[in-house]
Each structure stands twice: as structure tokens, then as C-alpha cells.
Amino acid sequence: MTKAVLKVASLGDLHMKEDKTQSFRELFGEISQAADVFVLCGDLTDTGKPKEAEILAEDLRACSIPIIGVLGNHDYESEQAEKVADILKSAGVHLLDGQSYEVDGVGFVGVKGFIGGFGRRMLSAFGEASIKNLVAESLNEAMRLENAMRTVKNERAVVVLHYAPIAETSEGEPLEIFPFLGSSRLGETIDRFKVSAVVHGHAHRGKYEGRTPGGAPVYNVAFNVQKPTGRPYALIEV
């Protein structure tokens, strides 16, 4: 089935903790009423512990619409990302890591992304082996995104990331940490394809909306970023 307009709710950086002091159950129920699909943009847990994922998974059961997501850097902190992913998948999350998934005629493509900086100040593979390895990881994530995009046959496509693909939606963060917020390599890859929307998180103090150099709309949906809905989640029509 193909919908003329798909309502996409998107949210990142939930940072679920073990102490259960915050519940998202009511918010997820609200999202189910407002949107056709719910997209999560990483840092779903605070320190990447399976217990944190289990608590979030329980809250996600309140969501009655399809859920799509990617992991973020915090989800890797405890070196148990595979367990975290398995727990979230068991709760019905279609977790993307270089794959695509279709909902009502819209293709969703997801990777975590990586750091490296933006524009002319983007880090290059020069110098120490450790720097070259870092740039290689950034290039690898961009390549995995490109390979996934090539599998999408839909007229409409949404790219799901954790790290930012442009500097514009990171504005408001300290300049010193810009190289660690994302990479223009992701934006360059996106601009090789027809993309309806891009959502990402990670930049908690960033700006809600921007565009890639090629004109694709980009939305920073980190929990603390102010959104037009007045709610923690963004609502985007695709």
C-alpha cells in the first residue's frame, strides 16, 4: 500500500537509564496517534547496557505504529551493541545498519554515521595511522549509506542517521566539538540520490532544520532540540 502523504514522527537521544526515573510510554502512545511511522535516531540508551535497552523496549510496546531506528555512539559504550540491538528488535524495532526498510511506499535507509567534520575543514586521511583509521571509518559509513540507498526503488526516501550530515543543524553547539558531531561525507552521499528527508540526532544543542548542499531537507530530532510540534518529537510529512 502507498500513502499519498506519510506522517513520520522522529526522535533521537532518549538516553534511557537503568534507574527508570523517566518513562516514555505516554509519549510513545501519543506518537502512535499523531504519525504513521516512528523513527528513532540513536543514543537510545545512556551507556549501552542491555538493562537500559530492556526498559526502553518495554516502553516501546506502547507504540502501535511501525518503528524504525539506528543506534548511536552511546549505544556502543558498554561494548554490548549487539545485545542492545537484539533487545530492541524483539520489541518490534526495525533497526537499520546499512539496510533499507519500506513503509507504505516510502523507503527508509539507515546507518549510524560517524565523525570527521564538515566542508573544507573535514578531516583528511593524512599523518598518523590512527587518523587514517578514523577517516577510513567515516568513509566506510558513507559507503554503507550509499550501498543501502542503491537498493531503494521508491520515489520517496528518508535517510535515518545518528551523526549529522551537515554543519547547519549542529549550529548552537560549541565550535570546538564540531568535528565530532558528524561528517559532510554523509551529506555528499545523500546528494547523489533523490531524498525526501534526512533525520539525525547527536547534536543536543543544535538547530532543528537545514539542507544539504544539494537541497535535501535535514532535521535534527535530538530530544532537547526545539521542534515546531512543541513536543520532543518532530512530525514530518513525506
pLDDT of residue 66: 97
pLDDT of residue 6: 97
- H/E run at residue 149: helix 129-149
189: in domain: yes
1: in domain: no
* 12 CB-near residues (< 8 Å, 6+ apart): 40, 41, 42, 43, 72, 162, 199, 200, 201, 202, 221, 222, 223
Tens digit of pLDDT per residue, the chain (238 long)? 678 899 999 999 999 999 877 789 999 999 999 999 999 999 999 999 999 999 999 999 989 999 999 999 999 999 999 999 999 999 999 999 999 999 999 999 999 999 999 998 899 999 999 999 999 999 999 999 999 999 999 999 999 999 999 999 999 999 999 999 999 999 999 999 999 999 999 999 999 999 999 999 999 999 999 999 899 999 999 9
Residue 98 is classified by DSSP as S
pLDDT of residue 1: 62
* Counted domains in the chain: 1
Owner of C-alpha cell 561525507: 185
64: in domain: yes
Q: Which CATH number covers residue 125?
A: 3.60.21.10
pLDDT of residue 90: 94
pLDDT of residue 209: 98
129: in domain: yes
2: in domain: no
Chain centroid to CA 165: 10
134: in domain: yes
50: in domain: yes
Tell me which residue range forms the domain holding 174.
7-237
139: in domain: yes
| C-alpha span between 158 and 150 (Å, rounded) | 13
Contact at 8 Å (CB) between 106 and 6? Answer: yes
